[in-house]
Amino acid sequence: MKDYYGVLGVQRNATESEIKKAYRKLARELHPDVAGAEGEERFKEVAAAYEVLGNADKRAQYDRGVDPRAASGSAGGAQGFGFEDIFETFFGGGAGPFGSAQRGPASRTQRGGDTLVQTEVTLEEAVFGVTREIQVDLADVCGTCHGSCCAPGTSPTTCRQCNGSGSVQRVARSLLGQVMTTAPCPTCGGYGSTIESPCTDCAGQGRTHSRHTVSVDIPAGVETGTRIRMSGVGDAGVAGGQKGDLYIEIRQRAHQAFERRGDDLHCTLEVPMTAAALGTVMTVETFDGPQEVDVRPGTHSGSTVRLKGLGVGRLQRAGRGDLHVHLDIVTPTDLTDEQADLLRQLAALRGEEIPEARLAPIGGGVFSRLRDAFMGRER
């Protein structure tokens, strides 16, 4: 009795999936289209082995010492062989008995496509969020045929070529005999029916296009590139299919005074030299209204004052970022004679008529402060 396990190269206790995997591997390697005529006999041996071991009842007989192929007189032929696996191995699809795929007519109904539109928001709208009305062209279910694709008073007709199955069968010759293959019907396109009188308003598509006004809730924290998904608001599908999704892509407009870095806002406040030396309280206009900024005596240019919670609303969590006010100390350049004289008197009182050149320590100079201000660090 032939060793079918040895032919497939598997152990006697191999699982069904292991046997199937081994067979498919060998069948691909030994098929005459790959291995040539010299592989034909070996291919037949592999096919015969899988005919037995791939069937639970026949495998049980074989394990008891009975060769089902010899017992049924099919040792010299391929009758009863698993054409489903041959078809699946070489054609990539499921098949029924003798390679005939079991399938029904395809549905005309298709899901609508997704639609992408862009909208621009100001920085203030990104900080707090906004509701925006957007104009967009979308497909709707045809109001005349209501998605049937047929002219009023008509309906699809059963295809005469496939009798409504949506597929036709063809016989192909192979090494193992005749194999029945299945393909979509060329007359109806696989739908099983034809539309003799398509709707003229939608050209038989079951949908028409029109301009829509869509209200979009844009949350706080969006930025350029953020996409908002509105499920089921996109194009209606063909033949009354469900609607796709609408995506709104955000573009954030730049602001003249405020710069955004993540969830934080940054701005620069010009402070007179005298106010920086003496200290003062200045008022700045923010998105939350006027806010006081405490300028401490002796403030250097590049110093930063942080106003907590006055930044951008966070998109994924509660709260807001901060507002960083960078102080720019303004040195006067258009002094009057009286003002210049007063400054000379101040310099004399401080012993700075001829200032001593001293290098600032690393980390404490103006360049470090400017660097920290640029990086959003606080001192």
150 is in an annotated binding site: no
142 is in an annotated binding site: yes
Counting the structural domains of the chain, the total is 3
The answer to the question of residue 167 being in a domain is no
Residue 132 and residue 215 share a domain: yes
Closest C-alpha among 59, 212, 73 to residue 135: 212
Hey, what's the torsion of the CAs at 363, 365, 370, 373, to 10 degrees? 50
Q: What is the pLDDT of residues 6-63, one digit of tens each?
A: 888 888 888 888 888 888 888 878 766 666 666 778 888 888 888 888 888 788 878 7
Longest CA pairwise span in the chain (Å)? 125
Residue 327 and residue 219 share a domain: no
Average pLDDT over residues 267-279: 93
Q: What is the pLDDT of residues 274-332, one digit of tens each?
A: 999 999 999 999 999 999 999 999 999 889 999 999 999 998 888 999 999 999 999 98
The answer to the question of residue 19 being in a domain is yes
* Cβ-contact 115, 246 below 8 angstroms: yes
Which of 111-115, 129-133, 246-250, 292-296 is least confident? 111-115
Residue with tokens 């990086």: 375
* Cβ-contact 134, 117 below 8 angstroms: yes
Residue 364 and residue 294 share a domain: yes
Higher pLDDT, 190 or 81: 190
159 is in an annotated binding site: yes
Hey, what's the torsion of the CAs at 279, 282, 287, 288, to 10 degrees? 90
The answer to the question of residue 102 being in a domain is no
Q: How many angstroms separate the CA atoms of 204 and 200, rounded?
A: 7
What's the domain range around 125? 115-150+202-252
162 is in an annotated binding site: yes
Residue 209 and residue 137 share a domain: yes
The answer to the question of residue 245 being in a domain is yes
Which CATH number belongs to the domain containing residue 21 in this structure?
A: 1.10.287.110
Residue 145 and residue 207 share a domain: yes
Closest C-alpha among 299, 298, 324 to residue 311: 324
Residue 15 and residue 65 share a domain: yes
Q: Residue 77 to residues 1, 32, 48, 99: CA-CA distances in angstroms? A: 17, 17, 9, 17
* Cβ-contact 210, 114 below 8 angstroms: no
pLDDT for 128 equals: 95
pLDDT for 180 equals: 73
Q: Where among 222, 252, 282 does a domain terminate?
A: 252
149 is in an annotated binding site: no
Residue 70 and residue 126 share a domain: no
Residue 276 and residue 302 share a domain: yes
188 is in an annotated binding site: yes
Which of 74-88, 166-180, 204-218, 293-307 is least confident? 74-88
The answer to the question of residue 238 being in a domain is yes
* 97: CB partners within 8 A, 6+ apart: 83, 84
Residue 69 and residue 131 share a domain: no
* Cβ-contact 264, 321 below 8 angstroms: yes
The one-letter amino acid code at 5 reads: Y
* Cβ-contact 167, 185 below 8 angstroms: yes
* Cβ-contact 254, 265 below 8 angstroms: no
